[in-house]
Structure 1
Amino acid sequence: MFDALVYFKALSKLLQVGMTAWEASQEGGIGSKEITAIRLATDLLGELGGKSSGQPTDMEALHFGVITQCFGHALGRQWAFNKELAPRGLLRFIGKERRARVEEIDLRVKLAASSLRKLQVGDLPAGVDAIKVAAAIDEPLATPYYKALWEAFSNPKLDEGEERLVPLLDLENGRLGFERDFFLAYQQVLSSAEGQKLQKYVAGVVGDYRARMLRELLLRDMAAWGERHTFGNLERQDRPADDPIPFMPLAKMYVEPEASLAENVRKEDRPREPVLSLIECWLGASKTNVVVVRADFGMGKSLTARSLAQRRARQFLEMRAPSPDVELPVFIRCAEDLTDEGFDLDEVVCRAWKREAGELGVKLKLDDPALESPEHTQRALFILDGLDEVILGERRLESFFSRIKDEASEHHRFIIFSRPGALPSEKELEGIPVLDILPWTQAQISTWLNAWSGLDGGSGPTLQDLEARQMGELARTPILLFMIAQTWKGQSREAGASRAALYEEFFWQIARGKHEADRKHHKNVSDASEELHQQLIRRGMVARETEPPDAMLWLMGRVAWEATKLDQRQMIEPLRKAEVLKKHDITNLLVHELEGVESTSDTIEAIQVGLLLTLQAHLRSGAASQILFGHKSFREFLVARYWADRLKAIARAPSRVWEDIESPLLGGRLLSREDRTFDFLMEMLDGEPHRRSPAAPFGLENAERRSLLDWAQTRFESEEPEVPAEASRGARSRQPSLREDRRPWLREAALAIGSTLRGGPGLRQRDKLTMRSMLAWFWLMRIGPIIIARKAHLPGALMPDNTLRGADFREANLEDANFSRASLRFNPGGPPTKFSKASLDRASMMNADLSLCDFEGASMRAANLDSASLSGSMLRGADLEGANLDEVTANHASFIGAQLKEVMLRNADLTGASFIRADLTHAHLHGAILTHAVLTDAVLKGAFYDDTTQWPQGFDPVAAGALHAPYE
């Protein structure tokens, strides 16, 4: 009844069909070979069990076919990408290698069959309870078929007395990856006609079988992230062969940063702990079940998020008996998975799992039941990476965190990774622990450099080399250390001058290296670069002395800016469907920039390839060829580079052509609280010319600086609206409306540039309504303005009732300006600002740094300065009646002759402050520190104090008319 020879041969053939079917699946998914394999298996078991062949009537027989074929599929995939397991040419099984491998498979099949000899159809009962107990179908990896195959193909010794052979499976490093590939094939087979029979049967026994198998697949993929490329999370075989950056496995290159709990002390004074340990600690301690991890660009936020997800996935899988009590990791990439309509957890998870499945080749509809989010009884950790990459706006951001708090529970916990600028106010974060990732120490830098030197082709500096070139401080930021190491060979002296100079060096070396490498092979990319270079020279976009790689860098900046503008369109058109930059958009951009060139259509495709490969920009599969950048700061630098290029062109051109040059800058916003684009731009404009890359837009001549300041002044004052061409097309007589105006963002940028340029005197307003006219558009569109007006001359400016979050008025002249009822929340710091005689009645300036500022004669009645810093500030003769100065720091401030009736000064630090002739009638001084304060002729009639109030030595508050009264 049991024909061993027939059994061995059939099983061997079945596995080989599965292995060769892997190759076929790369082209079209599960095909006829897979179905043939399943029928072969069911026929085989049917004959062994004494049943007739044909359509399977036993689920065990069908499942045997699925398990065995998928095992072969995973085996073929592993061989294809592992040179040690699969010598060259093995994938197609040709010649002697084919015969040798087939013989080895036969031997290992005999080993697997020897453990299955007693198993025949019917040994596993078909009853519901028996199936649940045996896990014969519900857990594919627990089936005796899979266990026998795994043991046979991973065991280095055969039981038949054969010589020791290399195992066909990489047991040490590849188990999770193999299981991922197995489940990938399993998902595809379940979608076939034969597989749906199995799926339907099991669904009636144990629920939604396909959803559970999909989750198994995604978890095994996540558990293997440690072997993926640091940039883009790519598998080794998916990385371009000519990529100038060595393959950097996450597990090898990730150096765990240290972090600390955010507190009102300097970061260098806080205790440091490994960030993953600190996350675990505060996940358990958070009352809201939410934790935020924040850090500036390039500090390792995303790598930490991916490492956390990868480790949690391994922990989940290692349990081998998952249950609702085991926490399931769910990784959410905010830039791609968050929706525009608001935060709906079920929809976000559905999008995240659809994206991850799509990256593995499993194409599912968004409403597929297999994508349902974890049940409320299933413990889950939702890891949200890159919140700062989503433009939400203040109101939507506050709503987002409110929804997160609503969704969080003991079973569903959240951890959010973001830059500080993308987070809401402290009030919205109340109850949420915030962890700050700290710069690397020298030990961490050394650890990373050692890992870098161990990469294939990796060579770089030592810690001593970095110190010798004064790059030690830059190297404390991981992304900058990577750039230093990547460009170390042949690096110019300017590389360490600034972050912008280092990025320029990095981009230039990769662009030039790609160009030269391509020239030696098929040449289409290098030829396209040269064609692009010639056309840009013809149009005056780049100088004649530049090189073809300069043209590609110019195009990268142009594309990055276009991508940014598309991201920002929803800020001004909330009802518009979200848009991202796609491959066809680059085609349209090139056609527009190179208009009139007959050969453009023949070179656009090659130019696009060169663009994508020049630096870590890649296409996301399954998303209509969306352009992605390897690191968010890469795009920020490229946008800044493009702006610097246009601004330098403006600085060299007569004013009559400024509008033509600046035209591409309209329709997008340069300034952002979430990124460093503006910082990069100013480093370029204020830096020295880059010797290695003379075409780089670095540095300004004195005449260029003056011209650019004139442009900034002109654009700041310009109130003439500018609308998109499509808005006015076909309607010449229609006047543009305020909502269509594209200039406010440019005016905002011009004010910031003119106020920040090195050596500039600051911009001036010639009309009290100049600032107000710009702010009107922001108010109308409900977009918070970003005001950078250092050294600006704005006397008498009328800006009441505005919200100016984070405004920078350092050294500005705001004399006699009107900020009544305005919500400023600005943070001038540094050199003082002049607010003398300004109107700030009922203005909100909580937590503002107003140290050394001049408020002489200002009206600040009922203003809210809670927890603000006024150290050293001048408030002589200021009217602060009824103002809130609780917990203010005003060391050595001057309140001479100030009106302070009914002012709140509870727990205020007023050490050394002068209150000569100040009126403090009915002021609240509970807990105030007045040590060394000068109270000569101060009026304290009816002022309230308590036992915690600290008076100057020898001062008698009762004799001065103050009342001892506990605070209620």
Structure 2
Amino acid sequence: MEPITIVTMLGKVFTAGALSYLGEAKQGFDESDVSAISAVLEVLGAVHGVAKAKPRTRMTALHTALVLQAFGTAFYEHWAGDERMAPGLQERSWLHRAFRSNDKAAREEEIQTRLRVALGWLQPEFEQRAAGERLSAMHVLHPDPMATPIYQALYTAFADGRFEGGEDTALLDMRREGARLQFEGAFQMAYAELLVTGAGQELGRFLLEVDKDRARQLRRRLMEDGSISDRRHVFGTTTPGVPMMPLGFMYVEPDGVWGKTRKPLREFIGDLLGKHPIVVVRGDFGMGKSLTARMLALGWAQTYMRGVNQPSAELVLPIFIKCARDFQRESFAATVREALRNQAEAIGLSLLRSDDALAMPPDTMRVVYIVDGLDEVALSHTEVEQLFRELKGATSDRHRVVVFSRKGALPSEDKLGGIPVIDVQPFREEDQVGTWLDRWNRLSTRDPVTVEGLKNAELLALATTPILLFMIAVTWGPTRIEQGETSQVAIYEHFFKQIAAGKCKHDRDRHPRVAEASERLREKLREHGHVGKETSPEDAMLWLMSRIAWEHRRREARGEHLDLQDVNNLLRKVLDLREEPQIQEMIRMGAMLVLQADLRDQNHVILFGHKSFGEFLAARWWADRLRAILQERRESRQRSLERELYGAMLLEAGNRSFEFLLAILNGVQWKEDERKSLGGWAEGCFVDERPDFDEGKHEEERSWRDDQRVPLRYAAFTIRCYLHGLEPLKVETSALRSMLAWFWMRQEWAPLCAPWISAKGVILERADLIGADLSGADLSGADLSRADLSDADLSGANLSGADLRDADLIGANLSGANLSGADLIDAILRRAGLSGADLSGAILSGADLRGVDLSGANLIGADLISADLNGANLSGADLSGALYNALTCWPEFFDPSSRGAIDVDIPGRSAQD
């Protein structure tokens, strides 16, 4: 092959690397190029007396092509950031114009000029001895590509420019501070990317087969691969509906807390590893533990590949151990071997488990073992404690360990023996959540999600959990409802389906411990008829989580806590696992990991990561039981299912369970005919006044105060009032009074939430109806005398002819209400809202109407004798034919010096009247 042809061919490979930086070339070289380079090397070897076997020559050709293309990519990256291409070039030089033009031929010609000098020793006429030495060095296949003859020759030609009279013509400007390191880093990254291609993997396998120091070679290959892992998807692979999310771009670092100190998590880990051989990072599902572990490995791998100020032995070698895949019970050394073997296989290198390349790194090296997902391995208490003893034995001044796990899989802190435990913290609302959303919006093609939008949707507090933030973002469009707001129920359902599976569904990996527990749980629930055949393992685990959440509420109602032993008892009762302790333990451990509980402490109190988690799960339990009740035809069985909802109030101040339940019942999960059936059951449950007492109490010990059924009647009544698509509930006095009386006897407060009910003539004198929602209700002719209706919502209600004597209506909303002919003698209506209300013919004598809003009200013929209207707003009110005593009603009207005197237009009347 002619000399000019040799350089042209190699220049093609180099140019492919340069153009690939701009995406103009997808493939740098093919099999024909490799064969051609091999042929050149064979011919030159014969000429210069350096003959090698064909396999070795082919690998030398591959190595040469990879170095050439990687150098080309790094060259173009270096040049692309400089307008003049190099400081020594005149701005309008022919070289500048050539490289700034679209004339690829001109670029290639200039590159080939440099290559002719760089690769001149490959030409037959080159000095015999020097060419032979260079060829021999090429065949050595040096593990460091920057130490190869090809790289060194290229660097000299492009950076020094000595062949054309000095640095003025250098195409690489290495005089700037850090320029060389920057260029070498770009070369290493380009070379690492080529190594994961088919040709690169072929070369890597060959190097491992022939190199005597196989372990060192393998470590380098793994670091080369690890150094570009920031470009991989957060979930390992793309999934439908989710944009490409590069780890390095999307990762927002959470904070960690140890003791009273809070720091960025990776900084914290680095600081503590300098003082402690083992550091534990503890966090709940979806808090960013695994992403942080991967980012730690990435940072150390990049430093290992790019660091030039220290020898390799002084740089940290990260060994990433993914417990679900790599863990071996026999020893930690076996686990390390498996981790290295699996990582090698992922980049196309098949190694036997007994291969020496998989040996533990020597003590002379600095190593950090990153143990990710310890909770994904089913270990007994003893085995976990033994593992930590073994980890301590594997550490030294130069070998360190970081363990990432959920709390439930770790030994108690007293058993950890001084190992620092960092707790991962939720995102800060403004900066960390905002930063993540900014990055998401740059990748997503959907409507932007903002911190302000999350605030408006009341989701910002949830978004501080990273996995929930992702789920909110990915479901932001699909979960919108007609009002333009995001459905929290849809987001919670989406979240809990995945937490019940142990992993985010977009992650290609699964949590084996939770997955197996969920499968066994499903079998047992099916066996006992708790779930149907179509139930998935995730739904089965979610069923159990919801059951535990309701039990948690029941315990709270008694002033108790739910602990691990209670969960054990619940499992035995629900699943009849007395003869199957192993299955019970498996299910219990899976459930506790899902609930983020501590598996090591039998008295550990079961908590939920966020208050609303428990509220949603309790609501889901109710929805499940209500559907089961509707499907059951036997009254005795229905009664038994109803008892599963006893023990706590569903509606409580500061608790959103009822809100979640209504969203479920009125949502797409329930059809219209199901809601109608539910409405029938709810009405029947409410009017059924038969008490239900604890069977453990003797009959003589029973009291109406002990009726367990009233909270269920109360919930059923409220559910019936809020179900969509049903006629207003018709209420009779007896059922309503017996229900409210139970709360009165127990001196407990329960708001009456009954919008749009029809309760004509109901007798509720002296009733405690503070904060009641009776908006739109028909209470015509009702007896509400002396009732406490302060802060109640009676907007739009029909109270015509109602008896409201001495009633407390302070702060009540009666706007638009019909109070025609109502008796409000001595009623207290301070600060009440009566705008637009119909009070025609109403008796308000002696009523306290201070500060009341009567704007636009109809007071025609009303009796206001002795009523106190100080500070009242009567603008636009019609007082035609009203009876009143002006001095009593409006004393300020006659005292000009009084502040806030009202200006009232009373048709047909005057102040003198």
Partners of 1:466 and 1:813 in 2: how far apart? 43
- Residue 486 of structure 1 aligns with which residue? 470
State the distance in 2 between where 1:956 and 1:494 align: 61
Give the AA of the match of 1:711. Answer: W
Counterparts of 1:807 and 1:915 in 2: how far apart (Å)? 30
8 Å Cα contact 1:872-1:894 kept in structure 2: yes
Give the superposition deviation at 1:238: 5.5
- The correspondence of residues 539-688 of structure 1 with structure 2, limited to 5 A, is 539-569=528-558, 578-595=559-576, 597=577, 600-615=580-595, 617-619=596-598, 624-654=603-633, 656=635, 657-688=637-668
Q: 1:508 aligns with which of 478, 497, 514?
A: 497
Query: Is the 1:516–1:526 contact (alpha carbons within 8 Å) kept by the matching residues of 2?
Result: no
User: Post-superposition shift, 1:624?
Assistant: 2.0
Partner of 1:761: 727
Kept after mapping to 1: 8 A contact 2:777/2:794? no
The aligned counterpart of 1:713 is 683
Write the distance in 1 (CA, Å) between the matches of 2:661 and 2:778: 25
TM-score with structure 1 setting the length: 0.48
Look up the equivalent residue of 2:497 and give its one-letter code: W
Q: Closer, same or farther in 2 for the Cα pair 1:536/1:922, shift >3 Å?
A: same
Question: How many Å separate the matches in 2 of 1:646 and 1:845?
Answer: 38
Question: Following the alignment from structure 1 to structure 2, what is the Cα–Cα distance between the partners of residues 599 and 524?
Answer: 22
Relative to structure 1, the CA distance from residue 659 to residue 919 in structure 2 (aligned partners, 3 Å threshold; closer, same or farther) is: same
Give the letter aligned to residue 803 of structure 1.
Answer: D
Structure 2: stretches of 5+ with no match in the other structure: 1-256, 267-271, 273-277, 293-410, 416-426, 482-486
Q: 1:525 aligns with which of 514, 539, 542?
A: 514
Corresponding residue number in structure 2 for 1:909: 873
| 8 Å contact kept, 2:429–2:460 | no
The CA deviation at 1:479 is 1.2
The offset of 1:792, in angstroms, is: 1.1
Equivalent residue, structure 2, for 1:366: none
| Matching of residues 286-297 of structure 1 within 5 Å | none
Shift of 1:544: 1.6
CA 1:495–1:712 in structure 2 vs 1: closer, same or farther (change >3 Å)? same
One-letter amino acid of the structure 2 residue matched with residue 224 of structure 1: T
Residues 885 and 908 of structure 1 are in contact (CA less than 8 Å); yes or no, is this contact kept in structure 2? yes
Deviation string, structure 1 residues 229-262 (Cα, Å, up to 9, x no partner): 9xxxxx9966558944314999xxxxxxxxxxxx
The alpha-carbon deviation at position 878 of structure 1 amounts to 1.2
Give a deviation string over 1:719-766, Cα, whole Å, max 9, x none: 111112322xxx4x548421110111111101110000111223222x
SS at match of 2:607: strand
Equivalent positions of 1:37-186 (< 5 A) are none
Q: Percent identity?
A: 31
Task: Pick closer, same or farther for the CA change 1:491–1:521 going to 2, 3 Å.
Answer: closer
Shift of 1:644: 1.0
2:260 alignment counterpart: 223
Cα separation, 2, equivalents of 1:460 and 1:673? 41
Is the counterpart of residue 771 in structure 1 residue 736 in structure 2? yes
Compared CA separation, residues 838 and 619, structure 1 to 2 (3 A): farther
Deviation at 1:955, TM superposition (A): 7.5
> How far does the alpha carbon of each residue in 1:779-823 deviate from its partner, in whole angstroms, 9 at most, with x for none?
111101221111111122222222222111111111222221121
Q: How does 1:891-906 map to 2 (within 5 A)?
A: 891-906=855-870
Deviations 1:339-387 (A, max 9, x none): xxxxxxxxxxxxxxxxxxx99769xxxxxxxxxxxxxxxxxxxxxxxxx
* Greater C-alpha radius of gyration: 2
Letter in 1 for 2:533: R
**What corresponds to 1:809 in structure 2?**
774
Contact 1:446/1:462 (CA < 8 Å) preserved in 2? Answer: no
Relative to structure 1, is the Cα distance of residues 663 and 953 closer, same or farther in structure 2, using a 3 angstrom cutoff?
closer
Question: What is the root-mean-square deviation of aligned Cα atoms in Å?
Answer: 4.1
Distance (whole Å) between structure 1 residues aligned to residue 715 and residue 459 of structure 2: 30
1:501 and 1:568 map into 2 onto residues whose CA distance is 28
Q: CA contact under 8 A between 2:853 and 2:872: conserved in structure 1?
A: yes
1:726 match: secondary structure? coil
How many angstroms apart in 2 are the aligned matches of 1:460 and 1:806? Answer: 47
Residues 599 and 852 of structure 1: is their aligned pair in 2 closer, same or farther, counting only changes over 3 Å? same
Gaps of 5+ in 1: 1-219, 230-234, 251-357, 363-439, 570-577, 689-698, 930-941, 962-968
Q: Any conservation in 1 of the 2:809–2:828 contact (CA below 8 Å)?
A: yes
Distance 1:683 1:472, change over 3 A: same
Whether 2:825 is the aligned partner of 1:861: answer yes
Structure 1 residues 488, 949: CA separation in 2 closer, same or farther (over 3 Å shift)?
closer
Q: How does 1:266-665 map to 2 (within 5 A)?
A: 448-451=433-436, 464-466=447-449, 473-474=456-457, 477-480=460-463, 482=465, 484-487=468-471, 491=475, 494-497=478-481, 498-514=487-503, 523-569=512-558, 578-595=559-576, 597=577, 600-615=580-595, 617-619=596-598, 624-654=603-633, 656=635, 657-665=637-645
Q: CA deviation at 1:225?
A: 4.3
Partner deviation per Cα, 1:684-709 (whole Å, 9 max, x = no partner) = 11111xxxxxxxxxx22222111111
CA distance in 1, matches of 2:744, 2:625: 29
Q: How far off its partner does 1:861 sit?
A: 1.1
The Cα of 1:539 is off from its aligned counterpart by 2.9
The corresponding residue for 2:837 is 873
Q: Identify the match of residue 797 of structure 2 among 833, 837, 843.
A: 833
Deviations 1:532-568 (A, max 9, x none): 1122223332222121111111111110110111111
What's the CA shift for 1:472? 8.1
Task: Name the residue aligned to 2:404.
Answer: none
Distance 1:469 1:952 in 2: 44
| Residue equivalent to 2:73 | none
SS in 2 for 1:502: helix
* One-letter amino acid of the counterpart of residue 871, structure 2: N
Q: Is the 8 A contact 2:451 2:460 kept in 1?
A: no
- Residue 634 of structure 1 aligns to a residue whose secondary structure is helix
CA contact (8 A) 2:774 2:797 kept: yes
Give, in angstroms, the shift of residue 587 of structure 1: 1.0
Q: Does 1:743 align with 2:705?
A: no
Q: Determine if contact 2:856/2:875 at 8 Å carries over to the other structure.
A: yes
Matched residue SS, 1:627? coil
Alpha-carbon separation, structure 2, partners of 1:726 and 1:518: 50
Secondary structure (helix, strand or coil) at the match of 2:570 reads helix
Q: Does 1:885 align with 2:837?
A: no
Secondary structure at the aligned position of 1:752 is classed as helix
**1:450 alignment partner AA:** T
Letter of the aligned partner of 1:553 in structure 2?
L
Q: Residue 639 of structure 1 aligns to which amino acid in structure 2?
A: A
User: 2:753 is matched with which residue?
Assistant: 788
Are 1:820 and 2:785 matched, yes or no?
A: yes
User: Does 2:723 align with 1:723?
Assistant: no
Contact 2:751 2:772 (8 Å CA) reproduced? yes
CA 1:243–1:674 in 2, change beyond 3 Å: closer, same or farther?
Answer: closer
User: What is the count of residue pairs matched by the alignment?
Assistant: 512
CA distance in 2, matches of 1:606, 1:449: 40
CA contact (8 A) 2:433 2:451 kept: no
8 Å CA contact 2:705–2:745 kept in 1: the answer is yes
The CA distance in 1 between the partners of 2:560 and 2:526, in whole Å, is 31
DSSP 3-state at the match of 1:810: coil
Summarize deviations over 1:66-95 as a string: whole Å, max 9, x none: xxxxxxxxxxxxxxxxxxxxxxxxxxxxxx
Question: Structure 2 CA distance, aligned partners of 1:852 and 1:360?
Answer: 62
Partner of 1:121: none
Change (3 A) 1:620 1:707: same
Does structure 1 residue 950 correspond to structure 2 residue 902? yes
The alpha-carbon distance between structure 1 residues 607 and 622, as it changes in their structure 2 partners (threshold 3 A), is: closer
Kindly provide the CA deviation profile for residues 198-254 of structure 1, in whole angstroms up to 9, marking residues without a partner as x.
xxxxxxxxxxxxxxxxxxxxxx9663145689xxxxx9966558944314999xxxx
CA contact (8 A) 2:437 2:449 kept: no
After superposition, the Cα gap between the structure-2 partners of 1:675 and 1:918, relative to the gap in structure 1 and judged at 3 Å, is same
